């Protein structure tokens, strides 16, 4: 029997309780206000209870429910502090852990997928999971050749649970809106659903991870553990020690935060350029800061460990040259050229008329980190951007509603925004422009025109 609650009716009831619970608490809060309690105290209490219910439910169900929770966790920085505060602890739990699968179920799954003699493949195998995530959990072990390994075992019924959850959450998207103010959840849920088949295919994940491991072998900044063995719904990779990024966010030194942030930005841009693949699940649980034999520094010796390649975007030529070109033209203040490029790429539909100057005004604050030599990412900065775009009274809000996000850019956009969210959680000071100049086509030269003439 599956240990993932996968009966459609059971999961639907639990998920349906989220918006209903929020509505009930809102009504209760109104009653308390009539009774004289301060509105601020009531709001904080409602948010705390909502956060606890939301992420407790998503974590218990695993599957697509928890996948949504992890995706939301990186956007916590954009929420107002009075809302983000109660959410933060619950979000962090989702980044690193979930209720584990029983030991008997793990053994049965390994016997089914690796053979009845699966224990002969390992010198040691720890029954207690080292980590548990949305569709599988990880066990620490020693491979038969003596290497320490991580064994990822997919939950039985994960595929059905993913599709069921995300379909149901898609129906609830508007009702769930108040849980995460200022964010349109429907496109995020739709995009996650489109990636289900890739997420479940451990052979695809093994290929993507192996490609990164080969490319970054011996790299002074980034480490990707090699794939040791893969089979149907079981993936064995080299073990990677290090400080989880969620711990760096919680109580890391400023040096750790800055180094982790710089390396995260470097990996975002260089990974696509070097492998033709974009790691598309940048929540803190998938990264480690490796301090190795220099735990006290210097920070330049610390590396970034990268895990979980279950979702990648395939970009054979790296990031599209149009992205770098648009950023360069925006920084140069060439409003007409930016507007033309966005129209050519489908960001502005043919029937929409926009003022090029207004487009430039909309974009410049967002790309502020690329304008300066180094930039300190903060929650306050991200909240200011989110407020500017989400406020119906703002010109930015009106313009944003007229822009379109072409399907080819959807995953790139989510990865970029998620990475920025993590950088703001870290509070890292990063030389972002350096990474863009080194790795983003079109950012320093007009490569687009060269490609067109070729």
Residues with active-site annotation: 281
H or E element in which residue 430 lies = strand 429-430
What residues contact residue 296 under an 8 Å CB cut-off, 6+ apart? none
Token duo for residue 423: 């950088």
The DSSP-derived string for 240-287 is: --SEEHHHHHHH--HHHHHHHHHHHHHHHHHHHHHHSEEE----GGGE
Rounded Cα gap, residues 392 and 49, in angstroms: 28
Token duo for residue 279: 């790691």
Cα 333 from chain centroid (whole Å): 31
Three-state secondary-structure class, residue 231: strand
Distance between first and last Cα of the chain? 58
Q: Residue 286's closest CA among 267, 259, 258, 314?
A: 267
Long-range contacts of 21-29 (CB under 8 A, 24+ apart): 21/50, 21/53, 22/50, 22/175, 22/178, 22/179, 25/49, 25/50, 26/178
Three-state secondary-structure class, residue 373: coil
Rounded Cα gap, residues 365 and 254, in angstroms: 25
What residues contact residue 74 under an 8 Å CB cut-off, 6+ apart? 282, 283, 284, 418, 419, 421, 422, 425
Token duo for residue 129: 């999971």
Helix, strand, coil percentages, rounded to 5, for the chain: 60, 10, 30
Q: E-assigned strands of 120-205?
A: 122-125, 131-132, 136-143, 148-154
DSSP state of 411: H
């Amino acid at each position: 029997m599956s240990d993932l609650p996968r009966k459609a009716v059971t999961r639907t009831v639990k998920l349906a309780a989220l918006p209903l619970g929020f509505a009930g608490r809102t009504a209760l809060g109104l009653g308390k206000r009539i009774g004289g309690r301060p509105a601020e105290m009531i709001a904080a209490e409602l948010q705390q209870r909502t956060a606890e219910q939301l992420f407790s439910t998503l974590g218990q169900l695993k599957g697509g429910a928890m996948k949504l929770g992890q995706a939301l966790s990186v956007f916590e920085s954009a929420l107002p502090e009075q809302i983000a505060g109660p959410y933060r602890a619950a979000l962090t739990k989702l980044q690193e852990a979930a209720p584990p699968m029983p030991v008997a179920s793990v053994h049965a799954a390994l016997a089914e997928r690796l053979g009845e003699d699966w224990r002969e493949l390992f010198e040691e195998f720890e029954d207690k999971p080292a980590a548990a995530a949305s569709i599988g959990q990880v066990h620490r072990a020693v491979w038969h050749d003596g290497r320490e390994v991580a064994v990822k075992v997919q939950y039985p019924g994960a595929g059905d649970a993913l599709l069921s959850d995300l379909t149901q959450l898609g129906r609830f998207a508007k009702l769930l809106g108040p849980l995460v103010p200022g964010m349109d959840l429907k496109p995020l849920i739709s995009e996650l659903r489109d990636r289900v088949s890739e997420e479940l295919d451990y052979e695809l994940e093994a290929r993507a991870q192996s490609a990164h491991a080969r490319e970054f072998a011996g790299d002074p900044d980034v480490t990707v553990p090699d794939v040791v063995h893969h089979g149907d719904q079981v993936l064995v990779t080299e073990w990677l020690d290090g400080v989880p990024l969620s711990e760096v966010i919680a109580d890391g030194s400023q040096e750790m935060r800055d180094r982790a942030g710089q390396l995260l930005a470097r990996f975002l841009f260089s990974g696509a350029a070097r492998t033709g693949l974009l790691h598309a699940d940048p929540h803190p649980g998938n990264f480690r800061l490796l301090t190795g034999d220099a735990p006290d520094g210097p920070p330049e010796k610390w590396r970034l460990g990268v895990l979980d390649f279950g979702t990648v975007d395939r970009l054979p030529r790296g990031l599209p040259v149009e992205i770098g070109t648009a950023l360069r033209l925006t920084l140069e203040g060439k409003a007409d050229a930016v507007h033309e490029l966005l129209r050519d790429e489908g960001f502005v539909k043919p029937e929409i008329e926009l003022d090029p100057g207004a487009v430039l005004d909309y974009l410049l604050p967002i790309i502020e980190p690329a304008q300066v030599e180094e930039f300190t990412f903060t929650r306050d900065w991200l909240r200011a951007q989110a407020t500017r775009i989400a406020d119906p009274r703002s010109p930015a809000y009106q313009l944003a509603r007229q822009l379109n996000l072409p399907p080819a850019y959807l995953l790139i956009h989510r990865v970029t925004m998620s990475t920025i969210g993590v950088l703001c959680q870290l509070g890292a000071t990063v030389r972002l422009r350096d990474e863009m100049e080194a790795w983003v086509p079109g950012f320093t030269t007009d490569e687009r025109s060269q490609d067109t003439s070729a």
